[in-house]
Structure 1
């Protein structure tokens, strides 16, 4: 089958600010599309994205997950950029901190922090729903639990955003992120491990290094595995959740009337926001998708965000519906590389929403939100708001 070509620049500012429209074009072109500007292939339909994420022996992460060769050809010791037994070994150590049982132990602590936050915001005339609402809890929880020293904490969000910029093409946004990535690496090497809190997540990875279960390089890289998936993606999804509920007051009223809908609303918010556009994989062998053949060694951009808005799978996908409960959404990926921070993100978002329902009668937007421009992340940078 001839593979259609998309000649637009997927990563231009205009495209990044209209991702849903561009993704719809890719879905309509066919099951497999060639992005000529980036010289990579892409899958954008729900069923095809899910199949690509499932095919982790044919489509692998170990040769890099970026759109650019600069990053893909550099050695990586992270959990995400690995396959097979190496991935299982690294992920097993990571999940000793991020597994469901470990995260469930934090429920009371996170619930109290969410209550305190919402009560504080109710006493303000206005606030930023990104910085003050969505960011507060993830930053506090992650920095405390990872056990990072105070030095450098204020830069973590900047470092995480820079990491995702680098996963896109080597454009100006990615190039500007290189010094920030270097700053993060210096922090990890010279500060984090030297002053980490005993019993914290970072200390646990150091224990795994001492026990010989992971190497020192893998242990240092695991700090990135803790920070990147536990901050920006949760923050962007939580801010989008606030935005949807503020502009759909009937949906918020439904939640307040029936708090059992909170998990459904969180799933819908992650589906709608799809904070990660997607990652790439490389083909170990030829991969057949609906009669289109991805060549051996080709790079495939797997578009999670497009899948979550595919009208072939979700009815009226652009409408936020608290009752939908799309548990099969791909906002946290799927398969062996399912987001390691998903349990923590779900707990934080649910507790924020429960706290809102307990204390706030109405969510208000005081102005239009300003979107971020990031190669891989999507969402809002600022959002003026108020609680009543």
Structure 2
């Protein structure tokens, strides 16, 4: 419905009107956020990702905002969340002993802290990529079964999270380099996703590639716990765009440096050419 309304308008700002609007509504309804919290979600979610990066000006500016999120999640109760929501379900699980005491708020913190800004980045990236590659959008329109593969290629081509920190637990040798136990390393997802030893023609955006082993959701036990929801949201957007849009004519995209996420801040859609 949201994509249909935007396509009908003929032009729109893709980040505010789609990439931000859709995930915020989904997560708000899922967790059961009401009132002022719904209006604060984006600000909190963005700050939560910024403070995970290196100590710099962005980290310092966002610590107070991330602290607001942590304080709210430390005090939230089941009564603060809508009936029938997943958030209420988390408190119900705590009450019956299915999860440890006093952890419901922390789980909700993870949903809001990690499940908003990254999905906004992914949806903004997919709109820009399909605008730049209308031939690939046409392939999805001709073969709707390509929707999951197309999103995998979006994630491989432009990783929403460009770096993540890890502490080495034992001495290890990687490509001839010794990394001692206790060292801190930055995992560069985008670099791995463009490794020419693994992906043929890695700098080409090809929806038929279906790179199921991309690194943008992490790997193994460190895989993103919310990736199922992110896939549902992105698949819905790709499917709706491919059915209704032949081509998106966009203006210059504006990016703002971030400590953790790589996202587009502004992306004007100047014209929608129907399918």
Residues 369 and 319 (structure 1), Cα distance of their counterparts in 2 relative to 1, 3 Å cut: same
User: Could you state the TM-score of these two structures normalised by the residue count of structure 1?
Assistant: 0.67
Output the CA distance in 1 between the equivalents of 2:207 and 2:33: 36
Q: What residue is the counterpart of 1:383 in the other structure? A: 267
Q: What residue is the counterpart of 1:234 in the other structure? A: 119
Output the CA distance in 1 between the equivalents of 2:183 and 2:52: 17
1:258 positional shift: 1.8
Residues 372 and 193 (structure 1), Cα distance of their counterparts in 2 relative to 1, 3 Å cut: farther
Output the CA distance in 2 between the equivalents of 1:235 and 1:151: 20
1:209 positional shift: 2.1
User: Could you state the TM-score of these two structures normalised by the residue count of structure 2?
Assistant: 0.92
**Are the equivalent residues in 2 in contact too, given 1:282–1:297 (CA < 8 A)?**
yes
Number of aligned residue pairs: 272
Instruction: Write the mapping of 1:63-212 to structure 2, written as runs, cut at 5 A.
Output: 116-190=1-75, 193-212=78-97
Pick the aligned partner of 2:222 from 320, 337, 344.
337
Mapped pair 1:368 → 2:257: no
1:194 positional shift: 4.1
1:228 positional shift: 2.9
1:336 positional shift: 0.6
1:292 positional shift: 2.6
Q: Show structure 2 runs of 5+ residues with no match.
A: none
Q: Secondary structure of 1:123's partner? A: helix
1:290 positional shift: 3.3
Output the CA distance in 1 between the equivalents of 2:253 and 2:181: 43
Q: What residue is the counterpart of 1:354 in the other structure? A: 239
Output the CA distance in 1 between the equivalents of 2:190 and 2:153: 13
* Residue-by-residue CA offset, 1:187-222 (whole Å, 9 max, x unaligned): 324456441112312212212222334344422111
Pick the aligned partner of 1:288 from 147, 169, 173.
173
User: Which stretch shows the higher mean deviation, 130-139 or 164-173?
Assistant: 130-139
Q: Show structure 1 runs of 5+ residues with no match.
A: 1-115
Question: RMSD between aligned alpha carbons?
Answer: 1.7
**Are the equivalent residues in 2 in contact too, given 1:149–1:192 (CA < 8 A)?**
no
Output the CA distance in 2 between the equivalents of 1:245 and 1:272: 12
Output the CA distance in 2 between the equivalents of 1:228 and 1:235: 12
**Are the equivalent residues in 1 in contact too, given 2:49–2:117 (CA < 8 A)?**
no
Output the CA distance in 1 between the equivalents of 2:257 and 2:61: 13
Output the CA distance in 2 between the equivalents of 1:313 and 1:261: 21
